[in-house]
A and B are shown apart, each in its own frame.
Chain A
Amino acid sequence: MSYSEKLIDHYENPRNIGTLDKNSEDVGTGLVGAPACGDVMKLQIKVGADGLIEDAKFKTFGCGSAIASSSLVTEWVKGKTIDEAETIKNTDIAKHLALPPVKIHCSVLAEDAIKAAIADYRAKSAKKDDITDTRSDSGHEHAHPND
């Protein structure tokens, strides 16, 4: 199979390999795929106080296209808000890397991974807000910085 230069570059020099603390409140973790299907992606985002994604890390078990797709999205999400990051489409990833038709599922998985990481981050924030809300019951109205 012939791959594009961009894909090979991401495979050979993957960006942002690593792990963030999944227990940290400002980190969202997405784990998608399955070992039996031959690909698993773990994608993590760290959201700063300003609401922007300040760091992103990935680890991927899968073919070269899967590794390149996840490497690419970690680059793309950095500096974006989670709402902006959520709009990344698998078709954009597939187009950028010129994925062959049988590898389109790799880009779908990468989109799923970023969505899962965002969902995890949101769930954590909501939980945090709940706790804050309960505490603020006795007193003044709690103002969320993002409201």
Chain B
Amino acid sequence: MIFTSGATESNNLAIRGVAEFYKDRKNHVVTTMTEHKCVLDTCRHLEQSGFEVTYLPVQKNGLVDLEVLRNAITDRTVVVSIMAVNNEIGVIQPLEEIGKICREKKTFFHTDAAQAAGKIPLDVEKMNIDLMSISGHKIYGPKGIGALYVRRKPRVRLVPLIVGGGQERGFRSGTLPTPLCVGLGEAAEICAKEMDGEAKRLKKLQERMLKGLNDKLSDIVVNGDLEQRIPGNLNISFAYVEGESLMMGIKGLSVSSGSACTSASLEPSYVLRALGVEEDMAHTSLRIGLGRFTTEQEVDTAVDELVRHVNKLRAMSPLWEMAQEGIDIKSIEWAAH
């Protein structure tokens, strides 16, 4: 384990480090279209320095197609980087199967496990994981600390991003922040102890929330596979209601809008787009997180708040009105602006 400043640095170090080290023999990286920005951006940088990158599409449920993955790997592929759990939709990729394919094809397997660590069992041996990134604050540990697992047998070599005194086996120089490292370790231990019980408790809350919403609202869609998913995540499109306006209404709840309307780009989430979610539906999505401190009472309050505001916003939505009148909004020629 190499301590880093967080999963962003771990992902940078893993992908760039391994690509740079083996660049004389290999020049190809495989990843998916739904990775976290720090993986995608690292890959873009590699492309600029001459590497080839394959961005695999995902299926409608958010999972990679293993045959598509198998066919994408060539003898020039240095690393396959596929996240364990998606940060927006919470789907769990088939890590064991991916690891098996990578081992067969003699390429390294890196997984960004920032959203998976502490939530689902991760076994680097069973899953043939060569490099794995984790983050402190995603497992209730301190911010500013993360780690990268680097396999020793068979050995994975990396070019470091930060050089100097040769700390962390030379992979990451600089004095470590001892309190943060200890905090990460403690957080990991607590997660490991509580994992089974927490998974069951959160699954109940997730089901309670979804049932509550489905009982009182029509036209809502869960984005991403519901089974291959961590119980702490729900990503829901509330049709005919724009996500950011809904967020503004449910002030007591801390959720995030799948729609990136807050940025100047006005682009909806690239993850949802990769799933084939239509743009109009992508604009109506919310990511709802359930965690260690979420109670049943809070889930019920959240359901009530969501239902109240979705109904209020639908009452003022011209799209909802059209849908009630039986007008297909896709039949209208909308002016771009």
Residues of A within 8 A of B (CB): 1, 3, 11, 14, 17, 19, 31-42, 58-64, 66-67, 101-102, 105, 108-109, 112
Contacts of A32 in B (CB 8 A): 335, 337
Measured in the bound complex, the distance between the Cα atoms of B259 and A41 in whole Å is 18
Given contacts A41-B318, A61-B318, contact A36 B280 (CB under 8 A): yes
- The answer to whether B315 touches A17 (Cβ under 8 A) is yes
Given contacts A62-B242, A63-B245, contact A37 B266 (CB under 8 A): yes
Contacts of A35 in B (CB 8 A): 279-280, 283, 319, 329, 334
Known: A37-B334, A42-B321. 10 other contacts (CB 8 A): A36-B280, A40-B319, A61-B240, A61-B319, A63-B245, A64-B245, A64-B248, A66-B242, A101-B264, A109-B337
Contacts of A31 in B (CB 8 A): 318
Contacts of B241 in A (CB 8 A): 61
A77 to chain B, nearest CB (A): 18
- Asked if B214 is at the interface of the complex by the 8 Å CB criterion, the answer is no
Contacts of B262 in A (CB 8 A): 1, 102
B262's nearest neighbour on chain A, judged by CB, is A1
* In the complex, chain B residues 248-279 whose Cβ is within 8 Å of any chain A Cβ: 248-249, 259, 261-264, 266, 268, 278-279
- Asked if B244 is at the interface of the complex by the 8 Å CB criterion, the answer is yes
Q: How large is the interface on B (under 10, 10 to 19, 20 to 34, 35 or more residues)?
A: 20 to 34
- Asked if B182 is at the interface of the complex by the 8 Å CB criterion, the answer is no
- The answer to whether A64 touches B244 (Cβ under 8 A) is yes
Measured in the bound complex, the distance between the Cα atoms of B71 and A43 in whole Å is 52
- The answer to whether A67 touches B245 (Cβ under 8 A) is yes
B198 to chain A, nearest CB (A): 33
* In the complex, chain B residues 12-28 whose Cβ is within 8 Å of any chain A Cβ: none
Q: List 28 A-B contacts (CB under 8 A).
A: A11-B248, A32-B335, A34-B335, A34-B336, A34-B337, A35-B319, A36-B334, A37-B336, A38-B244, A38-B268, A38-B283, A40-B319, A42-B321, A60-B316, A60-B318, A61-B240, A61-B319, A62-B242, A63-B244, A63-B261, A64-B248, A66-B242, A66-B245, A101-B264, A102-B263, A102-B264, A108-B337, A112-B337
